[in-house]
Amino acid sequence: MDNNVTTPATLIGVPLNLGANNLGIEMGPNAYRYQGFVEKLQRAGLDITDAGNVFCDERYKVARGNNPKLHYLNEIVRISNDTAQMVHSAVDNGRKAIVLGGDHTTCLGAVSGASAAVNGDIGLIYFDAHGDMNTHETTLTGNIHGMQLASLMGFGASELCQVHASTVKVQPANVLHIGGSDWDKAELDLIRTKKIPAYTMQDILTTSLGALLPMIQDLQNRVKYTWVSLDLDAIDAQYAPAAGMPNLRGLLYREIKMLAEYIGAHCNVLGVDVVEYNPLEDTGHKTALLATELVASFFNKQFSWYTDYLSRNPQ
What is the SS3 assignment for 275?
A: strand
User: Quick one: pLDDT at residue 167?
Assistant: 97
* pLDDT value of residue 121: 98
Under 8 Å between Cβ of 167 and 120: yes
Q: Which helix (H) or strand (E) holds 269?
A: strand 269-275
**Closest Cα partner for 273 from 103, 36, 133, 131?**
103
Sign (positive/negative) of CA torsion 56, 169, 216, 234?
positive
pLDDT tens over the chain, length 315 residues: 556 789 999 999 999 999 998 889 999 999 999 999 999 999 999 999 999 999 999 999 999 999 999 999 999 999 999 999 999 999 999 999 999 999 999 999 999 999 999 999 999 999 999 999 999 999 999 999 999 999 999 999 999 999 999 999 999 999 999 999 999 999 999 999 999 999 999 999 999 999 999 999 999 999 999 999 999 999 999 999 999 999 999 999 999 999 999 999 999 999 999 999 999 999 999 999 999 999 999 999 999 877 777 777 776
pTM of the model: 0.97
Q: What is the pLDDT of residue 3?
A: 64
DSSP SS3 for 299:
coil
List the one residue out of 299, 182, 191 whose CA is nearest residue 250.
Answer: 182
Dihedral of alpha carbons 293, 296, 300, 302, sign: negative
Q: Which residues are catalytic?
A: 104, 128, 130, 132, 145, 231, 233, 276
Residues 303, 296 contacting (CB under 8 angstroms): yes
Residue 81 confidence (pLDDT): 98
DSSP element (H, E) containing 245? none
**90 and 1 Cβ atoms separated by less than 8 Å:** no
Report the alpha-carbon distance of residue 254 to residue 46 in Å, rounded.
23
pLDDT for 273 = 98
Residues listed for the chain: 315
